[in-house]
Chain A
Amino acid sequence: MPKTSDLTKKDILHIAKLANLPILEENIEAYRKQLSETVSYIENMSELDTKGVEPTSHSTNMTNVFFEDGTKNKRLLSQDEATSNAKLTKKGKFAVKRLMG
């Protein structure tokens, strides 16, 4: 397990960017501390030997759950319903302030 109990400010900024989360400069230190604390706690996972243990994604052991192509669509939304919660729409489309670059 990487010795990462101490995340740096740079780490926090990188993570926030990846997560598309605006964080204020004055809060970075608080996040850094809290995240570092949590990370050092969870490092207790290294105490358990998991060599050869298969990771479990789904606890229910289900497989092959599908729907049949062409099944009637009972959930179709009208344009009004689909756009009903948007702040901004233009001619039925969702509008976003243009991204630069």
Chain B
Amino acid sequence: MKNNKYTPVIGLEIHVELKTKSKMFCQCDADYFGKEPNTNTCPVCLGLPGALPVPNRKAIEWTIKIGQALNCTINKSSKFDRKHYFYSDLPKAYQISQYDQPIAVNGELRIDNYELENSKKYRITRVHLEEDTGKLTHSGVDSLVDFNRSSVPLVEIVTEPDFDNSEDVKKFLEELHTIIKYLDLSDANMEEGSMRIEPNISLSIITDKKERMKNLPKYKVEVKNINSFNFAKRAIDFELKRQAKILDDGKTPDQETRGYDEDKGITYSQRSKEDAMDYRYFPEPDIPTITFTEKQIEEIRKTIPELPRQKMQRYIDDYKLKSDDAFILTRSVETASYFEKVISNLIKNESDLNIGKQSIEQAVANVIVNKRIPTSGTVKKFIKAFKVMFKKITVDFTELDKVIAAVISNNPKQIEQYKAGKAGILGFFIGQIMKEMKGQAEPQEVKKKLEEKF
């Protein structure tokens, strides 16, 4: 979107469902998928009178982990708060969430686009832990509620409004998604709802970034119901256009929540945020405060695996990979781990292979990135195919000379072309010769011989 009058101001609110075994405040299964309605509840997550919440330790540790992966400060003292609103899918009429003492604050995430030096930095305001609601569906004149999902642990990640275009948002979401998959604590699947994104979008007339951040627009529009990163980009682009038009008319867009319609590619008004929701937060009396020692926080940090950016840097530094190859390899933890397994197995047999000037790591990277051998099979299968592909060639020179002579004599026209100056025709000869030799020759060698002959 090219509109030089306005600069987009976009912040993100991302929710990630943790794949703990148990729910956030009770022992029901956190994996609710595919279960018959209301067969995965207990008095606690159903909000029955008299039921009480007890927090899941692992969910808290995993939230710390996400905070650390996003370079946040972990609050040594944290608590849960009640966030009140009425909706049929919220059984207690309050969600146990975190208000003013979240688990993690003030982080940042750097997004690379192949070139690590040209990374952009986005600030993470906070990372906190809360419980999910039940699922509300509509059937005719009724709304139907299933509480199987109620109280599944949900991590909320909030960014500062540091984005000024939708493409960056998409890249950010992809990186965040990759990090979460590396941490292996959520399926982070947008279609399945284990990762949700709500951008907050407005337009500013201030061009200087510092000034703009100090004087944010007086309104913002929240967009919900976005089911993929692509849709996020489209929804944002639509919104920016829509808001620009309103501003051009001299008006201010309403502060509201809008839904995204992916079929029509538009956002539509859902509920007015004018009466800013009064959530009446107060500290959850049923749950004592949570404190962490420096040591505990460090112990958790130690369990964080090498993250995508670190890994990418290591591939470039240690394996001398091209940055775009390193980038592609690290996009999924499965691919990176596959790559690492392959090279650790091959390194022993390096000398047997004909990979030219590149290192084993570079060769394998190249093969994977260009999909020359599929990674869907086992590492063993890949290595076998790789060895075949780069088999050292034993050249029968007498045979070679015979073939060269034969190919030359059979193609007089092409010889004329070469003599006439078409140097490229050499490729034709090399091709023919390689064919005759069934690949059992070195193309560079053949080229040299041909040049000698001519």
**Quick check: A95 and B142 within 8 Å, CB to CB?**
yes
> With A67-B55, A73-B27, A74-B27 in contact, is A94–B288 under 8 Å at CB?
no
The interface bits of chain B over 256-292 (1 if a CB of A lies within 8 angstroms of the residue's CB, else 0) are 0000000000000001000000101001010111110
**Quick check: B37 and A93 within 8 Å, CB to CB?**
yes
A56 to chain B, nearest CB (A): 10
Is A48 located at the chain interface by the 8 A CB criterion? no
Is B163 located at the chain interface by the 8 A CB criterion? no
Is A52 located at the chain interface by the 8 A CB criterion? no
Give the interface size bracket for B toward A.
35 or more
Contact among A67, A71, A73, A96 with B142 in the assembled complex (CB-CB below 8 Å): A96
Is B169 located at the chain interface by the 8 A CB criterion? no
Write the chain A residue with the least CB distance to B59. Answer: A69
**B residues 184-234 touching A (CB-CB < 8 Å):** none
The interface bits of chain A over 50-80 (1 if a CB of B lies within 8 angstroms of the residue's CB, else 0) are 0000000110101111111111111111110
**Quick check: A95 and B144 within 8 Å, CB to CB?**
yes
**Quick check: A73 and B42 within 8 Å, CB to CB?**
yes
**Quick check: A73 and B22 within 8 Å, CB to CB?**
yes
**Quick check: B285 and A68 within 8 Å, CB to CB?**
no
Is A3 located at the chain interface by the 8 A CB criterion? no
Is A2 located at the chain interface by the 8 A CB criterion? no
B133 to chain A, nearest CB (A): 13
B231 to chain A, nearest CB (A): 24
Cα distance A77–B51 when bound, in Å?
A: 13
The interface bits of chain B over 287-305 (1 if a CB of A lies within 8 angstroms of the residue's CB, else 0) are 1111100000000000000
Is A98 located at the chain interface by the 8 A CB criterion? yes
Cα distance A18–B280 when bound, in Å?
A: 9
**Quick check: A101 and B271 within 8 Å, CB to CB?**
yes
Q: Specify which chain A residues have a CB less than 8 angstroms from the CB of B57 in the assembled complex.
A: 66-69
Cα distance A34–B160 when bound, in Å?
A: 44
**Quick check: B56 and A66 within 8 Å, CB to CB?**
yes
> With A67-B54, A67-B55 in contact, is A75–B145 under 8 Å at CB?
no
Is A10 located at the chain interface by the 8 A CB criterion? no
A78 to chain B, nearest CB (A): 7
> With A67-B22, A73-B42 in contact, is A79–B54 under 8 Å at CB?
no
Q: Specify which chain A residues have a CB less than 8 angstroms from the CB of B137 in the assembled complex.
A: 93
**Quick check: B22 and A57 within 8 Å, CB to CB?**
no
Q: Specify which chain B residues have a CB less than 8 angstroms from the CB of A74 in the assembled complex.
A: 27
**Quick check: A60 and B41 within 8 Å, CB to CB?**
no
Is B26 located at the chain interface by the 8 A CB criterion? yes
A-B contact pairs, 16 of them (CB 8 A): A58-B289, A63-B290, A66-B55, A66-B57, A69-B56, A73-B29, A75-B42, A77-B43, A79-B37, A79-B38, A79-B39, A93-B146, A94-B38, A94-B147, A97-B142, A99-B88
Interface residues of A (CB under 8 A from B): 18, 20, 57-58, 60, 62-79, 82-83, 88, 90-99, 101
List the 3 shortest-distance A-B pairs measured between CB atoms, nearest first: A69-B58, A66-B57, A73-B27
